[in-house]
Structure 1
């Protein structure tokens, strides 16, 4: 297994040269950490076998270089762990802890192991431990907020190594080997400055350079900002920056003083853009996000982001299209500056502009896949060129690169509570775009969380129709992943919400889903009863196709219960409805099921006649696979009736049909409407 990165890495500024990517300093810490890997643990000293993976803790404040040190340690020892490296970030850029369930799901995805949508944290943790049980791998957990997060992700094998990065101790996890970071040593700090501004200004005034390092207390990000400030002012001496820092006084940290200095040195428009970046979801920024927040052109936003990266205010994220990450240690400073300089109404307006831009990008992302839809093409051509994607591949790459930010935007919009209309539009378009590019199955884990957000908004705003849709979607995922009892609870709640909204679609779907859940649970009486209720509604609305399907579901429930007479009546009713609606293929399939039930009921002659009729209708429908299956069933029935010659003829016919069928026939497209639909959102598309 190769090195797997999950989410983004943390702030790799200490110990790294921003331009060349070389690690600096931390020689003593690295030596101690490497020695801790080999050192006997408490269990070994007590004569017991270590029950879990060895845990190394790198503790330090944000921006102290803890992530960079962890990355360098992993790089040096990776050769001892042939199953590779897994990385997970356990906090968002603003410091919000990432749920252990989300981190476990990301690690399982990196291991290419299934992670059922909607599964609990305990279930996913168990799946992760099982996946790592026979592996010798490194798990790097960055920005851990507490011991609970780390404990949920610990492998139950001493063959794995866990490297945790946190601001403090992981109390509660046994035998943790901590390494606490301070500032960089003077030599490494000067080398970091040299790589940012060159050697001349440091060589001509080494005392001032050392004084600047001392004023920064060796804090790596502070040194990066100092280097960025000097790099932007080639005529300024190191002593000039040191004097300005001293003029700022001793209030705050070196990082906060340097940030204030850099912020004040920006042009007013750039400074405002920088402050508004604190609103970027998941701390990820691209040109569209900055453009929408600041209300400027995309070209101007792109140039401004490049300038911020040169100053050390942003870190480029290697992906296509380009985007940047706000260092976690700078996020509180950006937020404080925004609250101090911007009115709340302006911040809310900027957030609304960003969400509106995201909605339009998602519309374009989905529309570019609908090449056969004239309305979608017309809608796409009506969008500004900056919002259009050149190809479906480009749209898919954008969606994959921006997925953490898009999901973060949905969570932030719902948490805000003041932009629920935009939040609903955003979530509706996010669902449609993800289904279009990923498919309902692959997108289900993320969509489960989105549907929960839809449910939160619907309950908060008193929207019973949307509540019913969200509950149906969540129930469908629960049912597909084996949580049938939980799905049944959701379906019943959806039925209540649908009735409150007077929505026949929601109530009909809910009643049928309740019946399906009872069928799955083996309660065939209740299943048939609920299917019957749904059928009565479909018949009252003259919805023939749905009524025929429900006749079949009622017959299926009776078949499972052994009531073959009722089952035959159900399938005959389905055949009659399909005949009236002119659906030849559906009529053939219903006849096929009727023949099956007749065989179960001990009526092989009737089954034979019905099956022959089904073959004729399947031939008219040009359904080769159904014809072949029916011939095989006819062969079995003929053998049961003591006619082996006829059985051989039918088997030969089935083989010829399957042999004549074109190879590589594609299966029918996956029906995603029920699983992923968010109804009652604004019709704008």
Structure 2
């Protein structure tokens, strides 16, 4: 068959090949790797127990099948490790090393171990080693870029095993012998071609099949693309493809076989499909769904999914094992596709494609957040205004999408910030991502991701000179630091936020920062400074006639004085707080302020006054229908009556409390705490990322 005849054939989308029945070839390599597990290490020869996990290293060029070999080895060994298999990729699709902190956090999450938000690398790696102590776990570390990455994640558990995949030796880790991969043997290479192209063409022309395998140097990735090309052209012979690859003389004919076969496949794709294939190199995290593909190519999601399925049938993409349609760009193809995109597309077109992806993600996140708030008329109206393709059928569907796309969305935010030319879209994306995560997962569950996002917001704000957004990011980071016990770090962030808030002339950020500085001093036990900063925040609120916030700050000042043992000052401030709540008509807060006043009176040695105040507070709690507070006050009055020598009345109050608790559950009676007895503002609403967009 002539080349011209082949060119005139219709290019038909290939049917995806059947899932491989077994792993192909690599029998010798698998045998060596399994034998290496049993090989005595230096510690064993010296009579010592190995202090760390054994490391098996599979080294090879991208496209050599190194990840597939590691996966097959893990599959065979998994039964020997009852505590499970953990997997992590140590490099992004573009080859950038993944920070050890991020990998350690993901592994801890997979183990079900909570990792403090914003914790440094050494804390997280130590937590990972602790979590793996006493377990038999098989750890697969793919795409390692250096020994430092692997060494930081090695468990101090000799019963664990680490399988590392890298492009070369991991110099610096003792006792590691690399299993270096070359090409597949001829028989396995021809069988791989057969699985894609069918047995008929291989059977009628076995010599050409062997020749093509030799041209591809036995590289599984190149053979897969060659087989996909043949599968999509039923009338083409194997010899035709071999001739085409021989005729490819670009770069002097010295290009690697994977580069040549990709170029051949790309050049024979329909124009729209070829363009989308090139643009997939711009997909964050190397994963793409129909929405992302449609944004890259500027087409409908349905059309984008059809093209993605065709590319998958050609071996150019892998269908991800996910509940929603998602595709992975093979790591070996990513740099080649990026080079093709930079050659064929203008820089402005690539930037526009990235901008379209960010804009689509922003709109999807808006829809995702609105889907979580089904009881809000504004959210329902927001959903109705969106195109059908961007709507979610239910809150559960929105949460599932957010869970599946979370790595790609976080990668999109990191890439957009690193790009530096799309800061406006990056700010909108991060704002909507924070809101969607809080809406579906809650602040505590999403704290680790939120910490990273707020750090990116801070980077953009400092680069662009945006003091208001800088203040918001610092406040949110400070809140997360405080929650994880890094109070001094939080204090430094709050002070920086105060400076940024003043520079932006933002009264909200300034007031929040002053109050947060006071809370940090309170947590550190410096009650005098805490009271001073709360007083500054109070003066700021009073100047703006914000009475509800002022009443709460009176309570926080009173709490600081209570800790310091200045009961007279504490009582004056609790009375001011109670008066403020009463003027605002907040009956529940008024009753609780009276309850705290009674507590301080008890501390001050004035039990009779405490008893009278407790009775008044109980009456207001009854009016407010706060049964738990009523029960707590009944118990407090019982304790006071015991101290006053009236056990009979004390028993009556305890009986009343038991009746209430029998209906309502535990009483509300917290001890004074550094955040204030009435409670601080919720973290999720503490200081939102600001955006100039009216849609936000």
Task: Classify the TM-score, shorter chain.
Answer: over 0.9
Q: Which residue does 2:637 correspond to in 1?
A: 634
**Do the aligned residues in 2 keep the contact of 1:319 with 1:401 (CA within 8 Å)?**
yes
C-alpha distance in 1 between matches for 2:86 and 2:684: 35
Contact 1:229 1:311 in 2 (8 A): yes
Deviates more, 1:675-684 or 1:331-340: 675-684
- 8 Å Cα contact 1:17/1:23 also seen in 2: no
Q: Tell me whether 1:658 sits opposite 2:661 in the alignment.
A: yes
Query: After the TM superposition, which segments of 4 or more aligned residues of structure 1 sit over 2 Å from their partners?
Result: 16-22, 660-665, 668-677, 679-683
Give deviations 1:534-579, integer Å, cap 9, x for gaps.
Answer: 0000011111111111111111111111111111111111011111
For the residues of structure 2 that align with 1:357 and 1:676, how far apart are their CA atoms?
25
1:677 aligns with 2:688: yes
* Equivalent of 1:396 in 395, 399, 406: 399
Q: C-alpha separation between the residues in 1 aligned to 2:302 and 2:690?
A: 37
Give the 3 Å change call, closer, same or farther, for CA 289–460 of structure 1 in structure 2.
same
| Structure 1 residues 670 and 18: alpha-carbon distance in aligned structure 2, compared to 1, 3 A threshold | farther
**Residue 575 of structure 1 pairs with residue 586 of structure 2:** no
Q: Aligned residue for 2:513?
A: 510
Deviations 1:166-190 (A, max 9, x none): 1111111111132111111111111
> How many residue pairs align between the two structures?
668
The match for 1:90 is 90
Identify the residue that residue 454 of structure 2 maps to in structure 1: 451
The equivalent position to 1:441 in structure 2, one of 435, 440, 444, is 444
How much does 1:662 deviate? 7.8
Query: Which residue does 2:335 correspond to in 1?
Result: 332
Q: 1:137-152 counterparts in 2 under 5 A?
A: 137-152=137-152
Give the secondary structure class of the aligned counterpart of 1:135: coil
Counterparts of 1:517-532 in structure 2, within 5 Å, are 517-532=520-535
Q: Secondary structure at the match of 1:176?
A: coil
TM-superposed CA distance for 1:22, in Å, is 2.4
| 8 Å CA contact 1:424, 1:681 repeated in 2 | no
Secondary structure, counterpart of 1:440 in structure 2: coil
Kindly indicate whether residue 537 of structure 2 is the aligned counterpart of residue 534 of structure 1: yes
Secondary structure of the residue aligned to 2:689 is coil
The answer to whether the aligner puts 1:303 opposite 2:306 as a matched pair is: yes
Distance apart, 1:673 and its partner CA: 2.8
Contact 2:23/2:72, CA 8 A, preserved across alignment: yes
Equivalent pair of 2:64/2:220 in contact (CA under 8 Å) = yes
Partner SS state of residue 372, structure 2 = coil
- 1:614 to 2:651 alignment: no
Following superposition, the deviation at residue 127 of structure 1 comes to 0.4
1:19 offset after TM fit, Å?
2.9
Is 1:489 matched up with 2:492? yes
Tell me the distance in 2 between the aligned counterparts of 1:243 and 1:403.
Answer: 45
Residues 51-91 of structure 1: per-residue CA shift (max 9 Å, x gap)? 11111111111121111111111111112211111111111
Is the 1:118–1:448 Cα contact (8 Å) retained in structure 2? yes
CA deviation map 1:336-395 (0-9, x unaligned): 111101111111111111111110011111111111111111111111100101111111
Residue 314 in structure 1 maps to residue 317 in structure 2: yes
Alignment-derived partner of residue 234 in structure 2: 234
Looking at structure 2, the residues matched to 325 and 549 of structure 1 have their Cα atoms a distance apart, in angstroms, of 52
In the other structure, the counterpart of 1:624 is: 627
Matches within 5 A, 1:162-241: 162-241=162-241
The CA distance in 1 between the partners of 2:337 and 2:555, in whole Å, is 61
Q: Deviation digits for residues 582-618 of structure 1, max 9, x if unmatched?
A: 1110011011111111111111111111111110110
- SS of the aligned residue for 1:58 comes to strand
Whole-Å separation in 2 of the counterparts to 1:654 and 1:543: 36
Which residue, 372, 378, 381 being the options, matches 1:378?
381
8 Å Cα contact 1:477-1:675 kept in structure 2: no
Tell me if structure 2 keeps the 8 A contact 1:17–1:24. no
1:161 aligns with 2:161: yes
- Mark the CA change 1:146 to 1:54 in structure 2 (over 3 Å): closer, same or farther: same
Provide the C-alpha distance between the structure 2 equivalents of 1:543 and 1:430, rounded to a whole number of angstroms.
31
Q: Quote how far apart the aligned CAs of 1:680 are.
A: 4.2
Q: Compared with structure 1, are the counterparts of its residues 558 and 18 closer, same or farther at alpha carbon in structure 2 (3 Å cutoff)?
A: farther
Distance 2:666 2:536 in 1: 43
SS at match of 1:368: helix
- Greater CA drift, 463-472 or 150-159: 150-159
Q: Any conservation in 2 of the 1:286–1:324 contact (CA below 8 Å)?
A: yes
Q: Distance in 2 between matches of 1:323 and 1:421?
A: 27
Shift of 1:48: 2.0
In structure 2, the partner of 1:22 is 22
CA distance in 2, matches of 1:63, 1:595: 74
Q: Name which of structure 1's ranges 91-100 and 216-225 shifts more when overlaid on structure 2.
A: 91-100
Query: Quick one: distance in 1 between partners of 2:176 and 2:307?
Result: 43
Shift in Å at residue 511 of structure 1?
A: 0.2
Structure 2 CA distance for aligned equivalents of residues 439 and 253 of structure 1? 49
TM-score scaled to structure 1, two decimals? 0.96
1:252 corresponds to 2:255: yes
Tell me the residue number matched to 2:44. Answer: 44
- The reply on whether 1:466 has 2:469 as its aligned counterpart is yes
Separation of aligned partners in 1, 2:312 and 2:550:
61
Q: 2 CA distance for matches of 1:467 and 1:669?
A: 22
The answer to which of 453-462 and 59-68 deviates more is 59-68
SS of the aligned residue for 1:184 comes to coil
Q: Tell me how far apart the structure 1 counterparts of residues 423 and 448 of structure 2 sit (CA, whole Å).
A: 23
* Corresponding residue number in structure 1 for 2:57: 57
Q: Deviations over 1:13-33 (max 9, x none)?
A: xxx987336211111111111
Q: What is the DSSP-based 3-state SS (H/G/I as helix, E as strand, rest coil) of the residue aligned with 1:442?
A: coil
1:127-146 mapped onto 2 (5 Å cutoff): 127-146=127-146
Q: How many angstroms does 1:664 deviate by? A: 14
Structure 1 position 443, deviation (Å): 0.7
Match of 1:565 in 2: 568
Deviation at 1:96, TM superposition (A): 1.6
Q: Give 3-state SS (helix, strand or coil) of 1:56's partner.
A: strand
Partner of 1:9: none
**CA distance 1:506–1:399, change in 2 (3 Å):** same
CA distances 1:457-497 after superposition (whole Å, capped 9, x unpaired): 10011000000000000000000000000000000000000
Change (3 A) 1:164 1:664: farther
Structure 2 partner of 1:3: none
Whether 1:545 aligns to 2:559 is: no
Q: Is the 8 A contact 1:19 1:196 kept in 2?
A: no
Q: Give the structure 2 partner of residue 11 of structure 1.
A: none
SS at match of 2:429: helix
- Normalised by the size of structure 2, how large is the TM-score? 0.94
> Which SS does the other structure have where 2:445 is aligned?
helix
2-side partners of 1:278 and 1:459: how far apart?
29
Do 1:230 and 1:236's aligned partners in 2 also have CA atoms closer than 8 Å?
yes
Mapped partners of 2:323, 2:566: distance in 1: 60
SS of the residue 2:393 aligns to: coil
